[in-house]
Chains A and B, each alone.
Chain A
Amino acid sequence: MKYVDEYRDGDRARDIAAAIAAEVRPDRSYALMEFCGGHTHAISRYGIEDLLPKNVRMIHGPGCPVCVLPIGRIDDAIRLAKRPEVTLCTYADLMRVPASGGLSLMKAKAAGSDIRMVYSSLDAIRIAEANPDRQVVFFAIGFETTTPPTAVALKTAEAKGLMNFSIFCNHVLTPVAMRAILDMPPTPDEPPIAIEGFVGPSHVSTIIGMEPYQVFARDYRKPVVIAGFEPLDVMYAILMLVRQVNEQRADVENQYIRAVRTEGNPVAIELCDEVFELRESFEWRGLGAVPKSALKLRDAFAFYDAEKRFTIETQPAEDNPACECGAILRGQKKPADCRLFGTVCTPETPTGACMVSSEGACAAHWTYGRFRTRQSDAGLRRTA
C-alpha cells in the first residue's frame, strides 16, 4: 500500500535501531512518553521495544480517547439510550467499555435500547434524516482529531434544518493532558515519572499543528517530536528525541512532514473555534478533574446540545478499585503490574477501558506484548 509499506520495511527498521543504539549514551537512560494510543499500538504491534537499547524506555501515555472517558459519562450515554424516544449513535470502540452496575452500551443494546455503531459522524446525520420521529444523539468523543468531524456534523444538521439531532460532547484536548501529566504531584505510592521527551501525536497534529507543543519545549524543557503512526516513523522520532536529549536541546520537531503542516489544518481549527468553547473542568480517567481540558458546544448551538436537551447531570462513578487503568494512563504503572491483567481482565471480558480499545496500553500488551522477552533482542538485531 503506497505511503504505508515503505514505512514498515524491516531492513530499514533494523538499521534505524542500530543508529539509535550507536547514539544512546550507555551511562544514562532515556524515558520517553508516547502520548498517543495509536503510537502505543504501533510500538506493541511491531515489537519496537525489542529493537531499542535497554536504556531507552517507552512510557505509554493517556492518549486513548476511549480509555480516558470516565465511567460517569458512559453511564450518561446509557441513560440517554434507555429513553424510548432516543437513538444513540456511537463509535464502535465505546460499546464494550464497562460502566456502572455491570452495564455497557453493548449490554444496553442487547436489553433493547436503540444504539447504533457508526463509522462517521455523518452516519448519525443520515440516521436522523431517515428517522424523523426519533431523537438521534451522537455520542461525540475523542481528541482534536475527531472534534472537527463532530463540528461538520453539527453544521450539516443546522444546514439541513434537522430538529431531531443532538450531540453529547466529550471532546478533550491533548496539550492540556500532556501538561497535567507533567504537573502531577508525586504521592507516596506513585513516584513522579521522569519523562525526558514526548513522541507527539500523529493525527491530532494534522489538526492543531506544531505551536501548541511549544510550551513543553519552552517552559518544561521537554523535547517533542511529532511522529507518524508507521513503525519507521516512530523509530526515527525516537532517534530524533535521543539526539535532542544528548544535545540538551528541547525543541518541537516534526518527523511526520508528509501529513503535518506547521500551522495544522486552518479550516478545521476555525470550524472548531466557531462551534466549541472550553469547559471549566472535565473528569478524566486516570487524571481526575482537569481544568479547561475539554470542549462543549457554544451557546449559539445550545439547541443541538444533548446535555441541555435531555438535562444530563453526570454522576461521579468509581472504577473497579482493583483496576490499575488510572496509574497505567498516567504512565506510572505497566499493564502487567495490574493484578487483574490477563486473568479477570482480557479483551473478551475487560474490567477497565485500557483493555477495551485496541489503542489501550493493556489491550496492546495483551495482543502483542505478552510473549516478548529481552532475549529476543539478540535474534532481532543485526550487528551494526
Chain B
Amino acid sequence: MCLAVPALVTELLPDNMAKISLDGVSMTISVALVKNVAVGDYVIVHVGYALSKVDPDEARRTLDLLDEARGVPLAAGGVR
C-alpha cells in the first residue's frame, strides 16, 4: 500500500479533486493535501491522494547527481 508513482494532473475538478493520468490510465484523486496544484503538474499519488508535487528542477538535479557519481560529465545547462 506504500508504492506510488508520479502521475500527471490532467484536469482539476470541484471539491479538491483532480483527474490524473498514469501512462494513459486515468483516475480521479483528491488534491486536498497539496496547495496550488495545476494541470500539467506531476504529483506523488498514494491511496487516492496527492501527497506532494514533483519538482522538475530537483528531478533533473537528481539525475545529474547520479551521472556525476558515475563519472559522466554534466550536460550543458544541467541544474546544479
Q: Mark A residues whose CB is within 8 Å of B.
A: 1-4, 6-7, 12, 15-16, 18-19, 36-38, 41, 63-66, 91, 93, 119-123, 142-143, 145-146, 148-149, 152, 202-203, 206-207, 228-229, 232-233, 236, 239, 255, 257-261, 265, 267-268, 271, 357-359
Closest CB of chain B to A78's CB: distance in Å?
Answer: 19
B66 A258 Cβ-Cβ under 8 A: no
Complex CA distance for A18 and B71, rounded to whole angstroms: 10
A257 B55 Cβ-Cβ under 8 A: yes
Complex CA distance for A268 and B72, rounded to whole angstroms: 39
B70 A3 Cβ-Cβ under 8 A: no
Complex CA distance for A178 and B42, rounded to whole angstroms: 30
B70 A19 Cβ-Cβ under 8 A: yes
List of A residues within 8 angstroms of B62 by Cβ: 7, 228, 233, 236, 255, 257-258
A203 B48 Cβ-Cβ under 8 A: no
List of B residues within 8 angstroms of A1 by Cβ: 5-6, 22-23
Which residue from A18, A357, A359 sits with its C-beta under 8 Å from B70? A18
Q: Is the interface of B mostly helix, strand, loop or mixed?
A: mixed
B58 at the interface (CB under 8 A from A): yes
A119 B58 Cβ-Cβ under 8 A: no
List of A residues within 8 angstroms of B67 by Cβ: 12
List of A residues within 8 angstroms of B8 by Cβ: 2
B54 A259 Cβ-Cβ under 8 A: yes
List of B residues within 8 angstroms of A15 by Cβ: 69-72
List of A residues within 8 angstroms of B59 by Cβ: 3, 258
A271 B33 Cβ-Cβ under 8 A: yes
Interface residues of B in 19-77 (CB under 8 A from A): 22-23, 29-30, 32-35, 42, 44, 46-49, 51-56, 58-59, 61-63, 65-67, 69-72
B46 A146 Cβ-Cβ under 8 A: yes
Complex CA distance for A255 and B22, rounded to whole angstroms: 24
**Could you write out 10 A-B pairs with CB less than 8 Å apart?**
A2-B8, A3-B6, A120-B48, A207-B51, A236-B66, A257-B58, A259-B55, A267-B32, A267-B35, A359-B1
The 8 A CB mask of B1-19 against A (1 = contact, 0 = none) is: 1111110100000000000
Closest CB of chain A to B60's CB: distance in Å?
Answer: 9
A232 B66 Cβ-Cβ under 8 A: yes
List of A residues within 8 angstroms of B30 by Cβ: 120, 122, 149, 152
B51 A119 Cβ-Cβ under 8 A: no
Complex CA distance for A18 and B51, rounded to whole angstroms: 34
Which residue from B3, B51, B56, B72 sits with its C-beta under 8 Å from A41? B3
Q: Mark B residues whose CB is within 8 Å of A.
A: 1-6, 8, 22-23, 29-30, 32-35, 42, 44, 46-49, 51-56, 58-59, 61-63, 65-67, 69-72
List of B residues within 8 angstroms of A152 by Cβ: 30, 32-33, 49
A121 B47 Cβ-Cβ under 8 A: yes
Complex CA distance for A148 and B31, rounded to whole angstroms: 12
Complex CA distance for A4 and B47, rounded to whole angstroms: 18
Closest CB of chain A to B1's CB: distance in Å?
Answer: 5
B33 A267 Cβ-Cβ under 8 A: yes
Residue of chain A at shortest CB distance from B42: A3
Q: What 8 additional pairs, Cβ within 8 angstroms, besides A148-B33, A259-B53?
A: A12-B66, A19-B69, A38-B3, A120-B48, A229-B3, A236-B65, A259-B52, A268-B51
Residue of chain B at shortest CB distance from A152: B32
Closest CB of chain B to A141's CB: distance in Å?
Answer: 8
List of B residues within 8 angstroms of A37 by Cβ: 2
B2 A36 Cβ-Cβ under 8 A: yes
A121 B70 Cβ-Cβ under 8 A: no
Closest CB of chain B to A90's CB: distance in Å?
Answer: 11
Complex CA distance for A324 and B12, rounded to whole angstroms: 47
A119 B47 Cβ-Cβ under 8 A: yes
B33 A268 Cβ-Cβ under 8 A: yes
Complex CA distance for A37 and B1, rounded to whole angstroms: 9
Complex CA distance for A358 and B1, rounded to whole angstroms: 8
Complex CA distance for A66 and B47, rounded to whole angstroms: 14
List of B residues within 8 angstroms of A65 by Cβ: 1-2
List of A residues within 8 angstroms of B5 by Cβ: 1, 3-4
List of A residues within 8 angstroms of B70 by Cβ: 12, 15-16, 18-19
Residue of chain A at shortest CB distance from B4: A203
A146 B47 Cβ-Cβ under 8 A: yes
List of A residues within 8 angstroms of B33 by Cβ: 148-149, 152, 265, 267-268, 271
